[in-house]
Amino acid sequence: MFSHLPTPFNALVTGGGGLGQAFATELLTYRDVKRLWLTTRRELELDDERARVLQLDATTAEGQQVLADETDGHPIHLWIHTVGALHSDSIRPEKRLEALDTDQLSALFRINAGSFGGLLGHLTPSLSQGPCIVAALSARIGSISDNRLGGWYGYRASKAALNMLIKTAAIEMKRRNPQAILLSLHPGTTDTELSAPFQHNVPAEKLFTPDYAARCLLGVMSRRTPEDSGSFRDWNDMPVDW
């Protein structure tokens, strides 16, 4: 399926939520996968000898170093980053300017953008050994040019920051590893904990299962070439404006 990658290849999925688990499960159906790492903050098991589940927090320097030590010496050919947050017990999407809060903004930037940036810094040696695909789950709501409704300041801004990290890293990686492909991907509204409080106005046909979204996005990744590095696409393989 991944004609750009060697056979067999090593895969890494960071984030063990609904989409992260779906990506890992789907990838383990591929005979070409030699080794798969999955990071998660929760206890989780994958019944496959090729899989290694690492219980860590990928948003912290400590967790990022643990992952770097685990993958040291191994090339990473496919990395899918699914870590993200929209809400928590202390975080709610802002509907008006008066709701803006420094601590909440900092938390969203750390999770939605900083986790990817910190991991990329640690994993660059493993991503520089030949053909690779790096895909971070972004969101259309992080598109600056597509913003017509306003609101959700922290989530929008942190996803826009993630997009800029992808775009900028793609420029440097083109020099360091011309066979690297870096992508921002919009999965659509997926039935996960992240979107659960906001699904009531979503038509049933527009609310995707994690398995469906993962399969669609893996297809999008598989069709990319190095010329596509630094691009933003959705689950239907349509380009998304920055």
Measured between alpha carbons, how far is residue 174 from residues 118, 135, 163, 183, 240 in Å? 19, 15, 17, 13, 21
Residue 202 has a pLDDT of 63
Give the residue from 53, 194, 44 showing the smallest Cα distance to 111: 194
Residue 187 has a pLDDT of 96
- What's the mean per-residue pLDDT of the chain? 94
Q: Is residue 98 part of a domain?
A: yes
Q: Is residue 242 part of a domain?
A: no
Q: Is residue 228 part of a domain?
A: no
Structural domain boundaries, residue 44? 9-103+110-212
Other residues' Cβ atoms within 10 Å of the Cβ of residue 87:
16
pTM: 0.95
Q: Please state the domain count of the chain.
A: 1
CA distance 21 to 18: 5
CA distance 100 to 164: 22
Q: Is residue 150 part of a domain?
A: yes
20, HSE (Cβ side, Cα atoms, 13 Å): 27
Grouping H, G, I as helix, E, B as strand and the rest as coil, residue 67 is helix
Take residue 37 and report the two structure tokens written for it. Answer: 């790492």
157 pLDDT above the threshold of 60:
yes
| Lowest-confidence region among 74-88, 185-199, 213-227 | 185-199
Q: Which CATH number fits the domain that encloses residue 16?
A: 3.40.50.720
Q: Is residue 233 part of a domain?
A: no
Q: Is residue 96 part of a domain?
A: yes
Q: What is the pLDDT of residues 88-135, one digit of tens each?
A: 878 899 999 999 999 999 999 999 999 999 999 999 999 999 999 999
CA distance 17 to 91: 18
198 pLDDT above the threshold of 90:
no
Q: What is the pLDDT of residues 206-217, one digit of tens each?
A: 778 999 999 999
199 pLDDT above the threshold of 60:
no
Helices (H) and strands (E) in the chain, counts: 6, 7
52 pLDDT above the threshold of 80:
yes
Please report, rounded to a whole number, the percentage of residues in the chain having pLDDT higher than 90: 86
47, HSE (Cβ side, Cα atoms, 13 Å): 0
CA distance 146 to 59: 28
194 pLDDT above the threshold of 80:
no
Q: Which amino acid is at 4?
A: H
Residue 204 has a pLDDT of 64
Q: Is residue 1 part of a domain?
A: no
More confident site: 206 or 190: 190
Q: Is residue 67 part of a domain?
A: yes
